[in-house]
Amino acid sequence: MVSAQINAFSQPVAVQVTPLPAKINVAVRLDGVLKRFGHSIALHKVSLMIAEGEFVTLLGPSGCGKTTLLNLMAGFADADNGEIFIGGESVTETPPYRREIGIVFQHYALFPHMTVAKNVGYGLRMRGVPKAEMAQRVEQALTLVKLVGYGDRRPRELSGGQQQRVALARALVIRPKVLLLDEPFSALDKNLRLAMQIELKEIQRQLGVTTVFVTHDQGEALSMSDRVVVMSAGHVRQIGTPDEIYRHPADPFVAGFVGDVNILPGRYLRCDSTAMLALADNVLHIPLAQVHASVGEQIDIYVRPENILLVDAQAASLLHATVITHVFQGDHVDIHLQVLVPEKKRLFARQSGLEALVRWPVGCVVGLTFDDDGVCAFTAVQQQQ
């Protein structure tokens, strides 16, 4: 439903950034980092600051540049322009093994011929850590990831989740300044993935290690992060807390990519204490800060499905719609609707509880109202082009 809208907004915009608090130590700083691959620009002068102990997620679709950005931080790729700082020191020309970073890859990259203990201790051996200290630190790392007693096993004897824990222990045992994770849970099933998300966040909080996490999974980003960096086509679109990203998107791409959304055409009528938007034959009032357009413009109105309220057809409402189908999702029901005004269009509303199936049966006509907290508006795509 939103793909056309998303593709139309590939041009850069003024990035909305939630600033770091004053008097905070910066662990990672990128200043105008640009990366080319041949004639293609993978990253367009990205600037970013990450505080010590912060959990920051790079979120975006495949090919947006998030893994390239992670590789630049790690030193696996060289920037064509700009500078990278870790712990206040420029590492732009520093090789990976001297950057004091730990990294967990998407496919774990464990050594199959080594035991778990030797895999975890590999980075310590490369750094010349004495054997006694190395054994102690490996045991501490395995305890941290709940793998006590697994040191003599080989990777092939472990489940996917256990292999992921080994990779995490290997990254943490060197006591990195920054932990980098490149879609580490993508190979896990849903339940294990959720469990590993919780464990990782607990470990990160316990150690206070600065963490940069790459994912294309919006739920993962929103549930785990202190701040989220939303990326598209090599550009940073918005940097903010999960709540800010979800409830106050900076542009149509962020509004359409992060979470589910319905899009309706309208017009920006006027403003005083609130913004007044024409929707079909009615007027929708929402806070001024949630409208990114000029008075008189045609707009696209973005409404989260959980912010669409169903009422009896005879009650006061913004729109009328016919219930097309129900999609049961366990803890909620998605009710798919068709409206005819201002044009024939499909929407869906998210309702909690099974009573929605009985109250709003397929084929019935309902009224729709919106909780304005979940509504935002942007200049219409066709008007931008």
pLDDT in tens, 306-315: 999 999 999 8
Mean pLDDT of 361-371: 94
At residue 32, the pLDDT reads 95
Indicate whether 103 pLDDT > 90.
yes
Indicate whether 379 pLDDT > 70.
yes
User: What DSSP string describes 212-264?
Assistant: EEEES-HHHHHHH-SEEEEEETTEEEEEE-HHHHHHS-SSHHHHHHSS--EEE
At residue 142, the pLDDT reads 95
Nearest to 6 by CA among 341, 261, 294: 261
At residue 382, the pLDDT reads 66
Strand 16-17, strand 235-240: pairing: parallel
Q: Which pLDDT band, with edges at 50, 70 and 90, does 7 fall under?
A: very low
Mean pLDDT, the chain, rounded, equals 89
Q: Any idea where the domains of the chain sit in the sequence?
A: 3-100+176-255, 261-384
User: What DSSP string describes 50-74?
Assistant: EETT-EEEEE--TTSSHHHHHHHHH
Nearest to 58 by CA among 211, 262, 160, 196: 211
pLDDT in tens, 232-259: 999 999 999 999 999 999 999 999 999 9
Could you tell me which residues come within 8 angstroms of residue 196 by beta carbon, excluding any fewer than 6 positions away? Answer: 161, 164, 165, 184, 185, 188
pTM beyond 0.75: the answer is yes
Proportion of the chain above pLDDT 90, given as a percent: 75
Fold observed for domain 3-100+176-255: Rossmann fold (3.40.50)
